[in-house]
Amino acid sequence: MTVRAVVCGVGHYLPERVVPNAEFEASLETSDEWIRTRTGIERRHFAADDQTTSDLALRAAKAALADAGLTADDLDAIILATSTADLTFPSAATMVQAALGMKSGFAFDLQAVCAGFVYAMANANAMIISGQAQRVLVIGAETFSRILDFTDRTTCVLFGDGAGAVILEAATGKGTSEDRGILATDLHSDGTHRNLLYVDGGVSTTGTSGVLKMQGPELFKHAVIKLAETALASLEKAGLSPDQLDWIVPHQANIRIISGTAKKLGLSMDHVVLTLQDHGNTSAASIPLALSTAKAEGKFKPGQVLLMEAIGGGLAWGSVVLRW
Ligand code: ACO
């Protein structure tokens, strides 16, 4: 018998305010047409001034618990992937824990920028298969609107706010690729590329939160190569080939990166979950938002194979293969 981490609930939350591309035309030399054609983004959501990352995370967590038919008492742990936590400390995850009324177990934040959700799923999987936890709530939540330079057209039009959550629970499998649940994970980072995407502030440098800086075209080249490599690596670990994939649920950064990766795996865009047009790049929240949106649309059938892949600041990147 093999222990597998199976998805038993999914949920998401998007702030009310929708910002269409055209809204940037008033203050920047940009256009809806440029943003759509170069990125695939049409609109994004921005959190209200009084909404924090843990507020968004809490709404997504409650939706995932309702979807699973569980309460906070059924959870052993919360991992919240974010780079935009409410405070320097304590973690946003412990704020969610308190707001859910969860009195036992443990909660912590995980920071791997846009790869955060994939890293969090890999960590939750490791805790479940080692027996440390039976049920883990994995959340990706961000308020990237708070770290954008709204005078920089090369970055501020790309990002949005939101949260998505998944509950993983222990189940027994046969130890084959036919099992339901997480079949393989693959994580990487390379800190020598930190200048490609970073925030120019922090506690031990400027003492301020700073704003996002990105060398988009250079990052683009890394993304197309590294995402296909990690996808193939996790598929191999799972004992599957790309033609056995039913769905790619990618990090939603750029339509050209997403379609380039699908092409390298030999899959048509019919097999790709796309929410980029409506959400923009929500960093660690983008994959669980896409997952939850697609599930609500009835896209996934039991037994189908899903690949999640992401790359972001660090550079940090990775992938997860799971059977629904
Ligand atoms: N509106 C109009 N023109 C613009 C805009 C804009 N919003 N932004 C840039 N331009 C201009 C540039 O100034 C440049 O003009 P120039 O030729 O006169 O110098 C021209 O458009 C082309 O700019 P590029 O930067 O070469 O455009 P590119 O096609 O590379 O697209 C983009 C830029 C969308 C950022 C792309 O490079 C990209 O998606 N990169 C990867 C992003 C990514 O994957 N991030 C990872 C995750 S994010 C995370 O971890 C937080």
Span from the CA of 27 to the centroid of ligand 1 (angstroms):
18
Residue 188: predicted pLDDT? 98
Residue 252: predicted pLDDT? 98
Tokens for 84? 């935009």
Q: Do 110 and 63 fall into the same domain?
A: yes
Question: Which band of pLDDT confidence, cut at 50, 70 and 90, is reported for residue 162?
Answer: very high
- Residues with active-site annotation: 114, 251, 281
Q: Do 148 and 190 fall into the same domain?
A: no
Q: Which of 119, 96, 118 is nearest to 106 (CA)?
A: 96
Ligand 1: nearest atom to the Cα of 156: 7
Q: Do 246 and 101 fall into the same domain?
A: no
The string over 23-48, giving b where at least 16 C-beta atoms fall within 10 Å of a residue's C-beta and e elsewhere, is ebeeeeebebeebeeebbbbbbbbbe
Q: Do 115 and 198 fall into the same domain?
A: no
Write out pLDDT tens, residues 235-258.
Answer: 999 999 999 999 999 999 999 999
User: Is the shortest distance between the CB of 257 and ligand 1 below 6 Å?
Assistant: yes
Instruction: Report how far residue 151's alpha carbon sits from residue 171's, in angstroms, rounded to the nearest whole number.
Output: 49
String of DSSP letters for 206-232:
TSS---EEE-HHHHHHHHHHHHHHHHH
State how many domains the chain has. Answer: 2
CA atoms within 13 A on the CB side of 39: 31
Write out pLDDT tens, residues 23-81.
Answer: 999 999 999 999 999 999 999 999 999 999 999 999 999 999 999 999 999 999 999 99
Structural domain boundaries enclosing 308: 181-323
Question: Which band of pLDDT confidence, cut at 50, 70 and 90, is reported for residue 1?
Answer: confident
2-13, strands of its sheet edge to edge: 2-13, 161-173, 135-143, 77-81, 106-110
Span from the CA of 283 to the centroid of ligand 1 (angstroms):
16
Write out pLDDT tens, residues 196-218.
Answer: 999 999 999 999 999 999 999 99
CA angle 285, 289, 293 (to 5 degrees): 175
User: Is the shortest distance between the CB of 153 and ligand 1 below 6 Å?
Assistant: yes
Enter the pTM of the model: 0.97
Q: Do 10 and 141 fall into the same domain?
A: yes
Q: Do 23 and 167 fall into the same domain?
A: yes
Q: What is the CATH number of the domain that holds 263?
A: 3.40.47.10
User: Is the shortest distance between the CB of 281 and ligand 1 below 6 Å?
Assistant: yes
Residue 265 has pLDDT above 90, yes or no: yes
Ligand 1: nearest atom to the Cα of 154: 8
Contact present, 305 and 244 (Cβ < 8 Å): yes
Q: Do 213 and 151 fall into the same domain?
A: no
Q: Do 220 and 93 fall into the same domain?
A: no
Contact present, 276 and 153 (Cβ < 8 Å): no
Which residue's CA is the closest to the ligand 1 atom numbered 7?
Answer: 153
Q: Do 208 and 120 fall into the same domain?
A: no
